[in-house]
Chains A and B, each alone.
Chain A
Amino acid sequence: MSYRKVACVGAGITKFVRRAKETGRELAWEAAKMALDNAGMTLADIDCVVIGTAPDAFDGVHMKGEYLADGSGGFCKPVMRHFVGGGTGVFAPIHGWQHIASGKFETCLVVTEEKMSSCFPAPAGAFITIFDHTTEQPLGPTLIWIFALEMNRYMQRYGLTEADIAKVSVQNKLNAIDHPAAQLGAKITVKDVLESEVLAWPVKRLDISPASDGAAAIVLTSEHKARRITDKPVWVSGVGWALDTAYWATRDLYYPQYVEKAARMAYDMAGIREPNKEIHIAEPYDPFDYKMLHHMEGLLLCKRGEAAKLVADGVTARNGRLPCCPSGGALGVGNPIAATGLMKIIELFLQLRGEAGKRQVPGDPRIGVAQAWGDLMQVGTVVVMSR
């Protein structure tokens, strides 16, 4: 198939915080402007704008794409907003890729934003109506129910303990100490995680990423534009997105088919046959610690049930053979939903350019994969980047 090559040439990110003074559009502008400056471009160089932002109910702004448009550089330009729940942030570069790979545009500013602190008493309240009004809502479900059921099923299937899973939280929060945008970088222990407040067994407070405010942006261009802008373009070399079953309760919870389907689509496009050997660096989506493990398996980076051992053996550490979430992930950097996914893309961009500073993984990485998960907990979005 004949797609045009698409490059990432600039990135910007705000600090992720619990409560931002800035409005959502101000956050979007800060990230978007930073991405343009990083690319050495101005708004006049931008042909079109793509905005990724998760439920309107978080910011409390209906039609949030329109609300964010001016801060995202959309003034008098073609603008599209997309939304695939938690998968939105990694869908953002895919959406931008579509605009350029098609040949329609040369440059695209991709902006993601979330301001969850507007929502009271808690963003979780906005989720009640994602559950079926007849078969689930009368039980008063919360999102954590899903994760608790899924984590329990995953542990049971492979004989894992809560301590095996807690190691992910320990690793990612430690990595986040070196991320300038991070909200929750910290040196914690497995014991800290195990002793933190139980929310819905086996999920505990420190198994979960925080609610955050923040924005992130990148600039995508066609190949010939990229060559003129930078001598270090990072290519969007594979894209994939998929659902598994259309409803969370109709799939087996121990394995994320939605990731495998999306990953196979992205790997096929990128010409990757053995992801566990060819991928140098991974940013699987980790809103919960067990989810990083789940998603490593769905991304075919290891055998099913084996991810926890890789974490325990230090393989996924920043200086390991397969660094996973060297950014610090959602668990450490924070989780302003759509901006989190793009934060992972930005981490690949910086790592592959050798510009990740204190977070730089050794070994001159050339190929990375980032992934996010969302919608009704059954959408996978995957992007392979390379240089």
Chain B
Amino acid sequence: MSFLEKHQRNVDLTAFDGKIPVHYRYTLGLAGDKFFTAIKKDGKFVGTHCEECDVIYSPPSVYCERCFASLEDSWVELPSTGTVVAFTVVTEDDQGKELDCPQVIAAIQLDGADNTFVHRICDCCIEDLAIGAHVQAVFKPKKERKGTLDDIEYFEIAAE
């Protein structure tokens, strides 16, 4: 029975290598386009507001998932600060290899927003980090910004 056999090396079997030869180019979409353009041009966060549900989405959505209203014309500006809702300290990469420097990842609720945003926390803040900590986005210098998630260097503990 095959599950009792021990093939320690699968190259000992006649086998074929295969791969799916595709890669992807994703569009930002209608909401993503406005969100990342605001970050790139102005170093600001924007969101969309559903008045019916009184919910602010940032990262935004052009529709309200709760009531399906169009939010295409309901843009609001948000501060670049938020509250840590949860965090983790990552010590291994996706291949199980130890990282040179632990990486701090947090779920952040931007001030005024109802959903959360996942991003890095500066590792210099690790001592003071706690759920409920108030943090602030640090954007890359304007000329280095490309309109992507990496335009935000990280979040750090906000100077109150």
A-to-B contact residues, CB < 8 Å: 19-23, 25-26, 29, 32-33, 36, 42-44, 57, 60, 70-71, 73, 75-76, 117-123, 125-126, 128-129, 133-134, 137-138
Contacts and interface: CB of A to CB of B under 8 A. Distances in A.
A17 to B, nearest CB: 12
Nearest to B67: A43
A33 B68 contact: yes
Contact of B26 (A43, A71, A118, A125): A118
Contact of B63 (A33, A44, A60, A117): A33
B68 A42 contact: yes
B77 interface: no
Contacts of A122: 22
B16 A128 contact: no
B143 interface: no
Contact of A60 (B21, B26, B28, B65): B26
Contacts of B20: 57, 125-126, 128-129
A357 to B, nearest CB: 25
Query: Could you tell me the dominant secondary structure of chain B's interface residues?
Result: loop
A25 B62 CA distance: 10
B153 to A, nearest CB: 25
Closest 9 CB pairs of A and B: A23-B29, A60-B24, A70-B65, A125-B22, A43-B68, A75-B65, A29-B63, A125-B21, A118-B24
A26 B22 contact: no
Nearest to A19: B27
A117 B30 CA distance: 16
Interface string B51-83: 000000000011101111010000000000000
B23 interface: yes
Interface residues of B, number: 24
Given A21-B27, A119-B24, A128-B18, 6 more contacts: A19-B27, A23-B27, A23-B30, A26-B29, A57-B22, A126-B20
Of B20, B21, B62, B68, the most chain A CB neighbours within 10 A belong to: B68
Contacts of B67: 42-44
Given A70-B65, A138-B16, A120 B33 contact: no
A219 to B, nearest CB: 12
A133 B18 contact: yes
A196 B20 CA distance: 29
Interface in B4-21: 16, 18, 20-21
B25 interface: yes
Contacts of A76: 66
B25 to A, nearest CB: 6
A33 B67 CA distance: 10
Contacts of B61: 70
Interface in B26-40: 26-33
Contacts of B66: 43, 75-76
Contacts of B68: 29, 32-33, 36, 42-43, 73
